[in-house]
Amino acid sequence: MTRLVLVLGDQLTPDVAALRAADKARDVVVMAEVGEEGRYVPHHPKKIALILSAMRHFAQELERDGWSVAYTRLDDPENAGTITGELLRRAEEHGATDVIATRPGEWRLVAALDGLPIPVQMHEDDRFVCSHREFEAWAEGRKQLRMEYFYRQMRRKTGLMMDGDSPVGGKWNFDHDNRKPAQDDMLRAAPMQFTPDAITGDVLDLVEARFGQHFGQLRQFWFAVTREQARRALDHFARHLLAGFGDYQDAMLRGDRFLHHSVLSPYLNIGLLSPLEICERVEREWRAGRVPINAAEGYIRQVIGWREYMRGIYFREGPDYPRRNALNHQRALPGLYWGGETGMECLKRAVEQTGAEGYAHHIQRLMVTGNFALLAGVNPTELHEWYLAVYADAFEWVEAPNTVGMSQFADGGIVGSKPYVSSGNYIDKMSDYCGACAYSVKKKTGQGACPFNLLYWHFLLRHRERFEKNPRMAQMYRTWDRMHEDKRETVISEADDFLDRLNRGEPV
Ligand code: FAD
Ligand code: SF4
């Protein structure tokens, strides 16, 4: 009897669990471009194009490899519009009675497959270093789920950057060597870019017609869309950019959108690359003496540490996680996140490059757009939907814990032991934004004072009860209490005025 083998747009890996469990001789692979997936949040056109083009290329590879593939294009008149609708249609067409699937990376799709009226054989997605069971075992009985300890376990498990039982260089973490500001450098390489082929060209026309009104620019489109291209992008990163990754991973420059970042997450998250192949390549560069230890360790920590940890949290916490709101923040997402006018150079730049590339690096997401939303008390679910929509690498299992947990503290402190908030000083130290800003980062109050400076105190006061006993924040409350009363009043009333302007939708 024929079975259907579901391959989703982020499962484009030749040995993904469902394909391993299937029989090429009798089963039919189902792949479907469906409107629902493109619209449940208004995804960036580049992200939609990346996924559709990579799906079409992958389907061709499967067919070359001898699989029969039932592929539904977005503009197919028979298209049922949803993944489950397509599975039912194909089941009837092929007389199939069962579905073989790899567990989706999103609760919404897990529930949709669970609700199918035909039996679904669900296989764990084992393209990760840590299984759900292993994460549960690690988390069990711990008061706090700190990434650093999880990361050490992953280092021991994989043997990456290990000398026997000990970390190479005698330390698990070389972060103190990192976090340097960067200078403009005309010679710095950019991520590898690819010219669209005919398949991608068709996809771009389709996406333009169907999703052209979504936030973000479709062209220039230069992402890798095959495994072979993604491997070349990895090779290019390892050779030309990795060496500076550690030093400059927190830096931001107006003239350089990527600095030493790899821009590999879009490929990794749809299955064109695997976490271990990336990390093994990075370790090889270090063992060959071509990159410093802080670059290699720092990079590997992001992939087998943060990325795996975030996935563990998402599935451990359950389907309601993206809607948590521990700080009860209710402000609507300001229009500037969709490109509305602002004089705040840091936000303007981060949003502008997000629109242009479907990409911003970690510190732009965390300390610019995330920090501002947290200080301004933006509703975390609205913010989560924004991040999910606008980044080419955004899939809920990794985006939600980063946004709701790490960036907004909306999970009440599961991911972070304290909120990631800062005044304008941090942005000034790590970037060249402030020099070009309509506001002055040096001004704490008065006309033209940096809004981050005002809102920082406003945030701390709003949540005094929750945070003043946190040992890592107590000092800030002491500083506030020592401030002259007049100054405190001015800070709060100017912050209130600023927030009122945001509420009224005025440009800020
Ligand atoms: P690099 O800086 O080159 O880092 C290397 C790799 O490490 C990345 O490719 C990524 O796979 C991994 N990585 C680094 N940091 C993290 C992290 N915190 N969590 C998970 N993986 C990490 N990452 C996503 O993949 N998808 C998302 O939707 C996403 N949303 C985010 C939302 C917010 C609010 C924040 C603060 C972070 C988010 N991140 C997300 C994490 C991180 O910003 C991106 O992984 C990174 O910017 C991707 O660019 P890169 O490939 O150039 O990364
Ligand atoms: Fe951002 Fe403030 Fe610097 Fe302007 S002055 S770029 S608002 S941190």
* 353 in contact with ligand 1, CB cutoff 6 A: no
Choosing from 268, 282, 302, 411 the residue with most ligand 1 atoms within 8 A of its CB, the one to mutate for a pocket test is 302
Instruction: Report pLDDT for 37.
Output: 86
Residue 10: both structure tokens together = 């982020």
Please report which ligand is nearest the Cα atom of 350: 2
Q: Where are the domains of the chain?
A: 3-123, 132-191+241-313, 335-503
Going by alpha carbons, the residue nearest to atom 40 of ligand 1 is 399
What integer pLDDT is reported at residue 74 of this predicted model?
Answer: 96
Q: What single-letter amino acid sits at 185? A: D
Distance 194 CA to ligand 2 centre (A): 34
Enumerate the β-bridge partners of residue 122.
Answer: 101
In 3D space, the residue among 99, 8, 106 whose CA is nearest the CA of residue 52 turns out to be 8
Task: Determine which helix (DSSP H) or strand (DSSP E) holds 118, and give its type and residue range.
Answer: none
DSSP summary character for residue 40:
T
* pLDDT band at residue 190 using 50, 70 and 90 as cut-offs: very high
Return the ligand number nearest the Cα of 369. 1
The DSSP H or E segment spanning 32 is strand 28-32
- How many A from CA of 265 to the centre of ligand 1? 6
Distance from C-alpha of 473 to C-alpha of 315, rounded to nearest angstrom = 30
CATH code for the domain defined by 3-123: 3.40.50.620
pLDDT of residue 1: 84
> Bridge-partner residues for 71, per DSSP?
31
Q: Is residue 177 over pLDDT 80?
A: no
C-alpha distance across the termini of the chain, in Å: 63
- Domains 3-123 and 335-503 are alike in CATH topology: no
Nearest CA to ligand 2 atom 3: 434
The percent of the chain in helix, strand and coil, each rounded to the nearest 5, is 55, 5, 40
Cα(387) to ligand 2 centroid in Å equals: 21
Q: Which atom of ligand 1 is least distant from the CA of 420?
A: 36
> How far is 16 from 21, CA to CA, in rounded Å?
9
Contact between residue 436 and residue 345 where contact means Cβ atoms under 8 Å apart: yes
Q: What is the CA radius of gyration of the chain?
A: 24
Alpha-carbon torsion, ordered 170, 171, 176, 178, to 10 deg: 90
421 alpha carbon – ligand 2 mean position (Å): 14
Structural fold of domain 132-191+241-313: 1.25.40
Cis peptide before 220 (omega within 30 of 0): yes
Closest CA to 422 of 385, 380, 450: 450
**Alpha-carbon span 213 to 123, nearest angstrom:** 37
**What is the arithmetic mean of pLDDT over 268-294?**
98
**Ligand 2 atom nearest 344 alpha carbon:** 7
Buried/exposed code over 174-202 (b: 16+ C-beta within 10 A; e: otherwise):
bbeebbeebeeeeebeebbebebeebbeb
Write the DSSP symbol of residue 74: T
Confidence bin at 39 (pLDDT 50/70/90): confident
CA 303 / ligand 1 centre spacing (Å): 9
Collapsed DSSP state (helix, strand, coil) of residue 87: helix
Going by alpha carbons, the residue nearest to atom 44 of ligand 1 is 362
Segment 120-159, tens digit of pLDDT: 999 999 999 999 999 999 999 999 999 999 999 999 999 9
Please tell me the predicted confidence (pLDDT) of residue 284: 98
Instruction: Quick: pLDDT tens for 103-127.
Output: 999 999 999 999 999 999 999 999 9
User: ipTM of this predicted complex?
Assistant: 0.99
- Burial of residue 140 (CB within 10 Å: 0-12, 13-18, 19+) is exposed
The length of the chain in residues reads 508
362, 368, 372, 378, best to mutate for ligand 1 pocket (most atoms within 8 Å of CB): 362
At residue 219, the pLDDT reads: 98
Q: CA 103, CA 38: separation in Å to the nearest integer? A: 20
What average pLDDT does range 430-446 have in this prediction?
A: 97
Helix (H) / strand (E) containing 195:
none
What is the per-residue pLDDT for 184?
85
Tens of pLDDT along 343-390? 999 999 999 999 999 999 999 999 999 999 999 999 999 999 999 999
Query: Mind listing the pLDDT tens digit for each residue in 302-340?
Result: 999 999 999 999 999 999 999 999 999 999 999 999 999
Name the nearest CA neighbour of 420 among 404, 433, 402, 408: 408
Mean pLDDT in residue range 214-222: 98
Is the distance from CB of 426 to CB of 397 less than 8 angstroms?
no
Give the whole-angstrom CA distance, residue 403 versus residue 406: 6
Q: How far is ligand 2, taken at its centre, from the CA of residue 485, in Å?
A: 25
Q: Whole-number mean pLDDT of the chain?
A: 97
* pLDDT tens digits, 247-260: 999 999 999 999 99
Distance CA 342, CA 438 (A): 9
Residue 183, pLDDT score: 86
| Among protein residues, the one whose CA lies closest to atom 49 of ligand 1 | 263
Provide the CA 214 distance to its chain's centre, in angstroms. 19
* CA of residue 181 to ligand 1 center, whole Å: 19
Would you state the pLDDT for residue 185? Answer: 86
Q: Which numbered atom of ligand 1 lies nearest the CA of 370? A: 34
d(CA 190, CA 241): 8
DSSP-assigned letters across all residues of 210-273: HHTTSSS---S-----SHHHHHHHHHHHHHHTGGGHHHHTT-BBTTBSSTT----HHHHHHTSS
Residue 169 makes CB contacts below 8 A (sequence gap 6+) with 293, 297
484 C-alpha to center of ligand 1: Å? 41
pLDDT at position 482, please? 97
Nearest CA to ligand 2 atom 7: 344
What's the gap in Å between 381 CA and the centre of ligand 1? 19
Indicate which residue's Cα is closest to atom 2 of ligand 2.
450
- Which amino acid type is present at position 52? L
- How far is the centre of ligand 1, averaged over its atoms, from the C-alpha of 203 (Å)? 26
Q: Which atom of ligand 2 is nearest to the CA of 347?
A: 1
Among 225, 245, 336, CA closest to 293: 245
Query: Ligand 2: which residues within 6 Å by Cβ?
Result: 344-346, 424, 427-428, 433-434, 437, 439, 441, 450-452
Residue 178 has pLDDT above 80, yes or no: no
Rounded to whole angstroms, how far apart are CA atoms 19 and 8? Answer: 12
Q: With CA atoms as reference, report the closest residue to 271 among 128, 481, 472, 112.
A: 128
Nearest residue by C-alpha to atom 1 in ligand 2: 346
Least confident stretch, 174-183, 297-306, 370-379, 494-503:
174-183
Q: In this predicted structure, what is the pLDDT of residue 38? A: 80
On the question of a cis peptide bond just before residue 11, with omega within 30 degrees of 0, the verdict is no
What class has domain 335-503? mainly alpha
Q: 66 C-alpha to center of ligand 1: Å?
A: 35
> Can you tell me which atom of ligand 1 is nearest the CA of 237?
3
